[in-house]
Structure 1
Amino acid sequence: MQKGVVAAGHPLTAEAAAEILSEGGNAFDAALAGLAMATIVEPVLASLGGGGFLMAKPAGGDAALYDFFVETPLKRRAADETALLAILADFGPATQEFHIGLGASATPGMAQGIAEIHGALCTRPLSQLFEHAIAAGRQGFPLSAFQAYLFQVVAPILTASESAASVFAPNGKLLGEGDRFENPGAAESLALLAEEGPRPFAEGEIAQAIAEQSAAEGGHLALEDLRSYQVARRKPLLWRHRGAELALNPPPAASGALIAYGLAALEAGGDGPANSLVLYRALCATNQARQSHGAELGDLLQSGKLKDEIASLKGHKPAYRGTTHISVIDAAGNAAAVTVSNGEGNGHMVGEHGFMLNNMLGEEDLVGTEGWCEGTRLSSMMAPTVIMGADGSVAALGTGGSNRIRTAVLQVALNLIERSMSLEDAVSAPRMHVEKCGTLSFEPGIGGIEQAVAEAEDVKPWPAPNLFFGGVHAAKLDADSTLEGAGDPRRGGASIVV
């Protein structure tokens, strides 16, 4: 008898979660096991110094959103005392400016989020859930091709300090594909979390190390920031489309309302499955809705509630940074979709504890004295989503991909709901994306793309599927109890059915 399915951004992440399913743990147990492993094997994207979201749908119960994303510091340090350094990340064809340093770090929520989720939804002790992650950190593992690529992209961050270089470039050279990566400090931090819960991260030795480092090296964070952090349990934004119901990330996150807006725009475009032109116009309309902050939503909205949801985003600048995702569904029908981010990291390890704090305050829109308000949960484009199909099926999905997150999730959801694709086909199908500047980017193989190209202000065709378009990792329990998983090959994804 099958016990469950997991999809994730790294084979070892998927294996850690699958092992818990095979031992009889539920989807939420498995998701935390995978999340712990991700902090070890996907360190650019997942860290105890970051945060994220879990969309949880217990079998027979209502969906709930656990928000453990980062929060702005309670008190801003003077600009001339703040450490911020601009660096260029090298993506090959293009570069992007990021800001790092202690002044770029917001209050992390990862440890508190894990503890909250564990207490509410899990059945196995954290020591069991973290066992494989702790072993991987202590013993090491070969660096995957995708993680090695990310190391190269953010090399200036991973070598910005002696503490970071000692972990990511231990012999004076950045680790590459196949090299053995070890992080015993991160393993010990996970062991401490398993043994003592979040207290060490809120007021104990790790919190003290964060506060002392911040005070000494130009950061905003103080012990009170860490002590006062609270996980928020929110009601999801529920949206119906073609008979299915989607549980979406609600405000202050921006993603859910904008995905729902895109679905509303598609429904206004006709009754049949959306063609490329209708989808292109819906993506353009969603961009306009985001830019208007709810002020000019037009007549496409089919729900006054959604109008309120989008209007509530006014003043919230969403974080777009590097993310990874894990989806798990067990045979009982429990569904977990968890998306996390550390930005790219601030370039400094926290003492000997094996992790960097995030650099979320290094977003272009947030840098500067007017960029952020004190003591506020940051908005995000992360979009962990659960789809309850009209036929009784359940799917969990989400993605990394910066501002392409909402368009990737929207298109995979459409493939499942409107086109009745298998999960693997829905994830691997070619995607498009429309930037707010009007540029239409698209992968090869999209039928009827010519009409959208003719209407677009600017066009960028991609020669092959690319991680630019996200990495949707999805799990599904079909109406006949068959389990499906799909790890997106664009971002080194893996899936396992057990």
Structure 2
Amino acid sequence: MNALSRTQVVLKPAVASKGGVVAAQNRLAAAVGAEILENGGDAVDAAVATSFALGVLEPWMSGPAGGGAMVIWRAEEAKAYSVFYGMRSPAGIDPADYPLSASGTASDLFPWKSVVGDRNVEGATSIAVPGTINGIGTAHKHFGRMSWRELLQPAAIHARRGFQIDWYAALIIASATRSLAKDPDAAALFLEDGQWPPVPPWTALDDRRVQNARMADTICYLAEEGFREFYEGEIAKHLAADVQAKGGSLSFDDLRTYHAEMRQAALVPYRDGGFYVAPDLTAGPTFADVFHHLTRSIASPCAEPESQAYCAYADAIDSAYRARLAEAGDREAPHRPACTTHFSVVDRHGNMVAKTQTLLSVFGSRVVSPSTGLLLNNGIMWFDPEPGHPNSLAPAKRCLMNVCPVIGETGEARFAIGASGGRKILPAVAQLSSFLIDYRMSLEEAFHQPRIDVSGGPAVIGDEMLAPKIIEALSERRRVVTTKRTVYPNAFACPTGVMRKGGINYGASEIMSPWADAVAESFPRGVA
């Protein structure tokens, strides 16, 4: 039993607007994207600005030196596109440099056999080739309307000004203090005196900030030189040199040869609509498998999801995950915190972006590049260090990810949705999508509806707010553990989404996240 209140109710109304809306895990980053929409930018323009702003304002979750995937909807074409920008192992990496320990499992997200010194978990040896900038740059090249330079300026301003250390930021930094202290550059950036976590503020006048002038300089340079500068120019050379000086394998050639993959996305039919998902090494194919099962098991939806629906969710997600584990080798520990962020955008014309980006673990490798000011990923941890498995570590190999950006359509509405939370992402996005399509919920209703998590652990995790009869029905078939939907730790993922219905745009975010929010552009001039 815990001491948390049983009577407290948390509500977070959805935002509605005839203008564009950005929903993100950080309100200030969402506001950056909304301002781009107000200035006439496309949804992809807003996504560029929001992506960089999140890397500054929520640095432990994502950043320019990470990876991910996105799905884009183009209203005029009535077509969807996916962009895959997952991380890749360096070409010069040697699996023999990651010897297995005599016993035990890894200390972070994945229950791989542990590696001597956790070389695949943190430090420069855990750094993979990043793809985020190439992914968002590729999308902008095809669909952007505003200049690349203009879109990066807000992030540079925020990096120079710094983000405020409130109680939530202090909590997240404290959770990784020991690891951050091992890297002098990370310690200098995030810790007090290079060794202590910041103390939460006690008054409203406390305005301590994490400022990153070096990152601001890097963003400004990228703004002038273009996104390929990160992979082919001076930034690439400095970044590779920094990683190698700290013992990693990332090289200039690894960066120079990296390119995101963009393709038209096919519709996964469902009911009177369907979904556009990210392909290949994401949770997109597993998401499609879930709804293949739900087509048969939720034949006639009721007014709201009841016991039969939640049992169907548990069966469908469990079956899809079993197939994924057998075929792809993804064996992530389901209830450890992952370092990922998701945001969704809709503009006044109905164009949409669902974008997920990540460093993998909280604070990634816990290493900062001194030349660029960038916090670096620990993508090598995505690989199984034991040889002979589908996802075993090898040179120049793409990482398998759990990111699941989705654009769905119901026949009367369209939505863009996704989440952070490792293997909790898929169950959250699948249930929210079902709420929206099967039960015709509003975005606000869907985000407040209690969920379950079925992501490979020994039990179904059920929200305490579910009706007792639903918990009872689940318990007849599976072991069920109930827990409260809280800020930290988050047992049910952290989603954000937007919807367009009847010419009105809506945005919503995880109700328990203190930073997440949806922000609408100011009412467009000349629109009735």
Q: TM-score range by the shorter chain?
A: 0.7 to 0.9
Corresponding letter in the other structure for 1:33: A
State the match for 1:278 in structure 2: 312
Distance 1:482 1:144, change over 3 A: farther
State the match for 1:291 in structure 2: 325
1:217-255 CA-partner distances (Å, limit 9, x unpaired): 3212111101100110133352122212210111122x1
Mapped contact 1:237–1:250 kept (Cα < 8 A): no
Give the superposition deviation at 1:418: 1.1
Output the CA distance in 2 between the equivalents of 1:136 and 1:251.
Answer: 35
1:40-70 CA-partner distances (Å, limit 9, x unpaired): 0110111111112121111132101111121
- 1:14 equivalent to 2:30? Answer yes
Give the superposition deviation at 1:413: 0.3
- 1:75 equivalent to 2:120? Answer no
- 1:352 equivalent to 2:371? Answer yes
- % same residue: 26
State the match for 1:488 in structure 2: 510
Helix, strand or coil at the partner of 1:380? coil
Distance 1:102 1:218, change over 3 A: same
State the match for 1:266 in structure 2: 294
Corresponding letter in the other structure for 1:258: T
Mapped contact 1:318–1:379 kept (Cα < 8 A): no
Alignment of 1:442-457 (within 5 A): 442-447=462-467, 448-456=470-478
Give the superposition deviation at 1:38: 0.3
2:352 to 328, 335, 339: 335
2:430 to 398, 403, 410: 410
Output the CA distance in 2 between the equivalents of 1:236 and 1:147.
Answer: 37
Output the CA distance in 1 between the equivalents of 2:128 and 2:279.
Answer: 21
Distance 1:315 1:369, change over 3 A: closer
Distance 1:209 1:169, change over 3 A: same
Corresponding letter in the other structure for 1:377: R
Output the CA distance in 2 between the equivalents of 1:336 and 1:75.
Answer: 35
Helix, strand or coil at the partner of 1:469? coil
Helix, strand or coil at the partner of 1:214? helix
State the match for 1:248 in structure 2: 277
Distance 1:270 1:41, change over 3 A: closer
Helix, strand or coil at the partner of 1:460? strand
Helix, strand or coil at the partner of 1:472? strand
Alignment of 1:359-374 (within 5 A): 359-363=378-382, 365-367=383-385, 371-374=392-395
State the match for 2:398 in structure 1: 377
Give the superposition deviation at 1:76: 1.8
Corresponding letter in the other structure for 2:50: G
Give the superposition deviation at 1:211: 2.2
5+ residue gaps, structure 1:
91-96, 294-313
Alignment of 1:59-458 (within 5 A): 59-61=75-77, 62-77=79-94, 79-80=96-97, 99-172=121-194, 173-177=196-200, 179-253=208-282, 255-273=283-301, 275-293=309-327, 314=328, 321-344=338-361, 345-363=364-382, 365-367=383-385, 371-391=392-412, 393-447=413-467, 448-456=470-478, 458=479
1:400-429 CA-partner distances (Å, limit 9, x unpaired): 010011100001101111111111221121
Output the CA distance in 2 between the equivalents of 1:319 and 1:108.
Answer: 23
Mapped contact 2:239–2:372 kept (Cα < 8 A): no
1:144-200 CA-partner distances (Å, limit 9, x unpaired): 444333222222332221111111014343235453121111111111111101343
Output the CA distance in 1 between the equivalents of 2:371 and 2:247.
Answer: 19
Output the CA distance in 2 between the equivalents of 1:367 and 1:439.
Answer: 27
1:4-62 CA-partner distances (Å, limit 9, x unpaired): 01100001111101111111111111111111100101101111111121211111321
1:119-141 CA-partner distances (Å, limit 9, x unpaired): 11111112221222111111123
Give the superposition deviation at 1:369: 6.1
Mapped contact 1:87–1:100 kept (Cα < 8 A): no
Output the CA distance in 1 between the equivalents of 2:106 and 2:59.
Answer: 19
Mapped contact 2:471–2:480 kept (Cα < 8 A): no
Corresponding letter in the other structure for 1:232: E
Give the superposition deviation at 1:263: 1.1
Give the superposition deviation at 1:290: 1.8
Output the CA distance in 2 between the equivalents of 1:244 and 1:258.
Answer: 18
Give the superposition deviation at 1:463: 2.7
State the match for 2:67 in structure 1: 51
Mapped contact 1:88–1:156 kept (Cα < 8 A): no
Mapped contact 1:112–1:198 kept (Cα < 8 A): yes
Moved more, 119-128 or 197-206: 197-206
State the match for 2:483 in structure 1: 462
Please tell me the root mean square deviation across aligned C-alpha atoms, in Å.
2.5
State the match for 1:93 in structure 2: none
Corresponding letter in the other structure for 2:45: D
Give the superposition deviation at 1:394: 1.5
Output the CA distance in 2 between the equivalents of 1:110 and 1:497.
Answer: 25
Mapped contact 1:443–1:461 kept (Cα < 8 A): yes
Helix, strand or coil at the partner of 1:378? coil
Output the CA distance in 1 between the equivalents of 2:169 and 2:216.
Answer: 18
Corresponding letter in the other structure for 2:299: D
Output the CA distance in 2 between the equivalents of 1:44 and 1:292.
Answer: 31
1:344-384 CA-partner distances (Å, limit 9, x unpaired): 32122112311122101124x53356632322221211011
Output the CA distance in 1 between the equivalents of 2:166 and 2:153.
Answer: 21
Give the superposition deviation at 1:89: 6.6
Helix, strand or coil at the partner of 1:379? coil
TM-score by length of 2: 0.83
Aligned residue pairs, count: 466
Output the CA distance in 1 between the equivalents of 2:448 and 2:214.
Answer: 37
State the match for 2:48 in structure 1: 32
Mapped contact 1:87–1:156 kept (Cα < 8 A): no
Output the CA distance in 1 between the equivalents of 2:503 and 2:19.
Answer: 11
Give the superposition deviation at 1:209: 2.1
Distance 1:161 1:369, change over 3 A: farther
2:497 to 474, 478, 481: 474
Output the CA distance in 1 between the equivalents of 2:351 and 2:365.
Answer: 35
Give the superposition deviation at 1:87: 8.7
